[in-house]
Amino acid sequence: MSFGNLKIGARLGSGFAFILVLLACAIGLGMNSMQRIGMRMNQIVDNHNAKIFSANEMVDNFRDIGLNISNIVLLGEDAAAVQEEKNKMAAARTKYGKAKKVLVDTGLNDEEKELLTKLDDAIKFAVPFNNKVVELASENKQAEATALLTQQAIPAIRKAIAVIDELVIYERDLAKGAVEEAKGVYSTAQAMMLGLGALGVALGILIAWLITRSITRPIGQAVQVARTVAAGDLTSR
CA atoms in the 13 A half-sphere facing the CB of 12: 5
**Dihedral, 207, 212, 215, 221 alpha carbons, nearest 10:** -130
Q: Is residue 146 part of a domain?
A: yes
Does some domain include residue 149? yes
The rounded mean pLDDT for the chain is 80
Residue 208 pLDDT grade (very low, low, confident, very high; cuts 50, 70, 90): confident
Is 63 among the domain residues? yes
Which pLDDT score, from 0 to 100, does residue 79 have? 84
Residue 237 within a domain: no
How does pLDDT run across 170-191, given as a tens digit for each residue? Answer: 988 888 887 787 777 777 777 7
Residue 43 lies in a domain: yes
pLDDT digits (tens, 9 = 90+) for 143-163: 899 999 999 999 999 999 999
Q: 236 lies in a domain?
A: no
Q: What percent of the chain has pLDDT over 90?
A: 28
* Domain hosting residue 54, numbered range: 7-217
Q: Total domain count for the chain?
A: 1
- Residue 114 belongs to some domain of the structure: yes
CB within 8 Å of 28: residues ≥ 6 apart: none
Residues with Cβ within 8 Å of residue 25, at least 6 apart in sequence: 196
Residue 23 domain-assigned (yes or no): yes
- List, for residues 56-88, the tens digit of each pLDDT value: 899 899 899 999 999 998 887 788 888 999 999
Read off the pLDDT of residues 9-68 as tens digits, 9 standing for 90 and up.
666 677 677 777 777 777 777 777 677 766 666 666 667 778 888 888 998 998 999 999
Q: What 8-state DSSP symbol labels residue 232?
A: T
